[in-house]
Homo-oligomer: A and B are copies of this chain.
């Protein structure tokens, strides 16, 4: 039914209906409906697996859609912890050992990545249950995910308690970066669609982005320049 509607809409037989929800509507929504709506209305999210190891050697890996760039000098990232829903082992291990890894989710591992969100008992490693493999690089204490072709070794720096909804922003420094050499452009930029990295739509939708264009620094009064069109002109 819904797909029929979308086809009709695309044929522009039906007009576009603009739906509006206000504060009262949002407050009165069914919990799951609101969860799906609010999680998807801010746009795409990064798709990463955070992996840790406890001081006694138990490993843990969990899907996160909240890893964000915080700054490049020093190289910082952040992620949001939700005390009521998060896989608590991840945070416990980070506080114990100071380190964790961030591993990209690629198109061929979305089922395995999503399965890490299941609430396994504390003594069970999601690595063993999902087919994701541990990998240890350059004596870093936390495991990387072998299947990921972009991975970061990170050290906990600080946390900020967000009082508005009792969540925590964790701030960490990126100490190691690993990636397949061919996806890096000469100016440092990693072309994520060459790695098959996915993005998350809401809580449970996995989407594969394809690069449309990349633009040079914008300046007033100057037309936006594409990296790729410029290359073509040069040739």
Chain A interface (Cβ < 8 Å from any Cβ of B): 2, 5-6, 9, 16-23, 26, 29-48, 65-78, 80, 82, 102, 104, 107, 110-111, 114-121, 124, 129, 137-138, 149-150, 152, 157-158, 160, 162-165, 167, 169, 171, 173-182, 184-194, 197-199, 201-202, 204-222, 224, 227
Closest 5 CB pairs of A and B: A43-B46, A207-B209, A33-B188, A36-B188, A38-B72
Do A152 and B67 touch across chains, with their CB atoms under 8 A apart? no
Q: By the criterion CB–CB under 8 Å, are A220 and B118 in contact?
A: yes
Nearest chain B CB to A123 CB, angstrom units: 12
Question: Known contacts A42-B102, A48-B43, A211-B207: does B18 contact A180 (CB below 8 Å)?
Answer: yes
Question: Given A118-B219, A164-B158, A75–B193 Cβ distance below 8 Å?
Answer: no
Contact between chains at A177 and B73 (CB < 8 Å): no
Secondary structure of the A side of the interface?
A: mixed
Contact, CB under 8 Å: A201 / B211: yes
The answer for the CA separation of A37 and B75 in the assembled complex, in Å, is 10
Q: Interface centre among A20, A72, A138, A220, by most B CB within 10 Å?
A: A72
